[in-house]
Amino acid sequence: QKEVEQDPGPLSVPEGAIVSLNCTYSNSAFQYFMWYRQYSRKGPELLMYTYSSGNKEDGRFTAQVDKSSKYISLFIRDSQPSDSATYLCALRVAAGNKLTFGGGTRVLVKP
Amino acid sequence: GAVVSQHPSWVICKSGTSVKIECRSLDFQATTMFWYRQFPKQSLMLMATSNEGSKATYEQGVEKDKFLINHASLTLSTLTVTSAHPEDSSFYICSASHGASNEKLFFGSGTQLSVL
């Protein structure tokens, strides 16, 4: 079993819909939770960063962390074709330590 | 967010040659940088952790003599693929920690290496 599980997709939604992404993990020691967006042949771009449990909102993006269930989510409201990319969750036990990535979910937003 | 610059963005080389990839933190100092490798439609695989002024820490299965890492300053880390072979062809990405507690990780734009 992988440390971090993420559905590879592709997840196809119409423009304007809400995109719902999630990851599950097995290591309860994870404290830092991040979501990255990666376009093809580009480096990942940090979208959301959360420490410990709770919700965080930034523009059209909302990140949720439920440590009791070992489950994290990313929601994208009012999705645009430019949101079409691969979304990677990344978890970290402590600051300065290496990230553990999910496999990534490919998202397609159709006009 | 913080900016990490990676160069070159792509390189084609002949088998047996060495290739150097540079990773720079442009507006912050990075005591720790990470090097990843990514195959098509797969997630990032950590190769090594680079600490300024000390030897890099390599992940299991990564040959340190094959992938030489140098982190001579707080803003520059380099990865040299020595005696490259076609199986080394891949997308290489660096990242650097930033923040009051180095909690956030920012990535370079990646380097596509093709070995003929």
- Facing A41 at nearest CB: one of B42, B103, B112: B112
pLDDT at residue B43 greater than cutoff 80: yes
Structure tokens belonging to residue A108: 């397609």
B81-93 pLDDT, tens digit each: 999 999 999 999 9
Three-state SS for B52? Answer: coil
A50-98 pLDDT, tens digit each: 988 889 999 999 999 999 999 999 999 999 999 999 999 999 987 667 8
Residues B92, A63: Cα–Cα separation, whole Å: 28
pLDDT at residue B1, rounded to an integer: 65
A interface mutation test: which of B103, B109, B112, B114 has the most A CBs within 10 A?
B103
Do residues A96 and B101 touch, judged by C-beta distance below 8 A? yes
Indicate yes or no: CB of A51 within 8 angstroms of CB of B103. yes
Spatial CA neighbour of B18 closest among B52, B65, B55, B54: B65
pLDDT at residue A1, rounded to an integer: 72
Indicate yes or no: CB of A90 within 8 angstroms of CB of B6. no
Cis peptide before B86 (omega within 30 of 0): no
pLDDT at residue B100, rounded to an integer: 65
Q: Is residue A46 very low, low, confident or very high in pLDDT (cuts 50, 70, 90)?
A: very high
Mean pLDDT of B41-56: 89
Which chain B residues are closer than 8 Å to A51 by Cβ?
103
Residues B40, B69: Cα–Cα separation, whole Å: 23
Count of Cβ atoms closer than 10 Å to residue B42 Cβ: 13
Spatial CA neighbour of B107 closest among B15, B59, B37, B18: B37
- The strand pairing partners of B6, in sequence order, are B23
pLDDT at residue A107 greater than cutoff 80: yes
Which amino acid would we find at residue A59? G
Is residue B103 within 8 angstroms of chain A, CB to CB? yes
Residues A67, B50: Cα–Cα separation, whole Å: 30
Minimum Cα–Cα distance from A93: chain B residue: B103
